[in-house]
Amino acid sequence: MKNLNLAVITAFIGITLASCDTSDDTKEPTPTPTPVEAQKPLVIAHRGAQSILPEHTLEGFEKAVELGADFIEPDLVLTKDGHLIVRHEPMLSGTTNVAEIEEFADLKSTKELDGKMVTDWFSTDFTLAQIKTLKAKQAFDGRSKEFDNQFDIPTFEEVIELAKKQTESAKRTIGIYPEIKHPLFHNEIFDFKMEDKLIDALEKANWNSQSAPVFVQCFEVAPLQYINSKSSVKLVQLISTYNINKDGSLDFNVPEGDFISYGSPFDFFKSGDERTYAFFATKEGMEFTATYADGIGPWKPFIISYKTSETGEIELLPATDFITLAHENNLLVHPYTFRNENMQWSGATPETEYHLFFDAGIDGMFTDYTNEAVKAVNTWVK
């Protein structure tokens, strides 16, 4: 059972961010943070500096560190030969040039993913050697395509190595925040657990511990519980919702044929458990989550939602009791995703949005715009 006091976890974060000695990977850094350092919200670079460079590239992660990120966030999927690579989804066409390579045309297939039939090129049909012939591209419309088809697809081990090297060069600890994507999907394909691959990689890096600069996240529950039974690494339960109703309430009813994981953990659905992600925002749900996790990562409207008028005007609602309930159960709160393009919460500037959520009590946040988040942390007065 996870039963660490929140103050202890917060102090650890301050220690992690203040330390910089990695000359001996077997030695845990122990500098004492100032109270201010221990209380600053963590800046988690969501898939790297993806507002500038293609997501999930070593160059994008390095840029995020340069901009001041505390943690870099790699999403993990598996290759045909069992390697963890860094992509947002097992589908490759949205973030790589795979569709442009004729020799891979016959690898396009249709698979069921979290209840939805998807036609694409899947990482599970490619060897690592084949993956290494692909190049990354910008996934978001409206963002620069200048660096498309220039950068390789990294492995998880390469991201760990980068974080350690950046820790040395930046003179501060750079953490990693890996998300295991669709583990149930992967585990039905392979004769091993995706979770074990993650644990093995962390063990090899000497980062398979509570004190390591690592958070492991997942939208499913059973994989986190399994990791908790095998490792003391810090864990975060992600939660989502399908939509925001006009009155600001959250809609967990996923239309037939869409991704079930938008409304509930897919492993819950497969096992017949009817609880949606709404459960995790309750007192009972927080108590449950605290039995295996150290934190909870909600979509932002779980904390601050908004009404939408018939004319499209936005009215922010008061903060919910989500953070209070989480902190009462020693759970850190790291909401996602802060993007300049999403104006619902921002008012005049992105800084306004960050400060709104900092005032509500979040402990960190996933951001596409690392520079904006770092600036907001530095200008925020608690």
Active-site residues, by number, are 46, 88
Burial class (CB in 10 A: 0-12, 13-18, 19+), 335: buried
DSSP letter assigned to residue 168: H
Distance between CA atoms of 152 and 147, rounded to whole angstroms?
Answer: 11
Phi/psi class of residue 143: alpha, beta or left (left: φ > 0; alpha: ψ in -120 to 50)? beta
DSSP H/E element including 265: none
Contacts 24+ apart (CB under 8 A), 159-166: 159/58, 159/61, 159/72, 159/74, 159/86, 160/201, 160/205, 160/207, 162/58, 162/61, 162/62, 162/72, 163/61, 163/72, 163/213, 164/22, 164/25, 164/205, 166/61, 166/62, 166/65
Residues in a beta bridge with 71: 44, 175
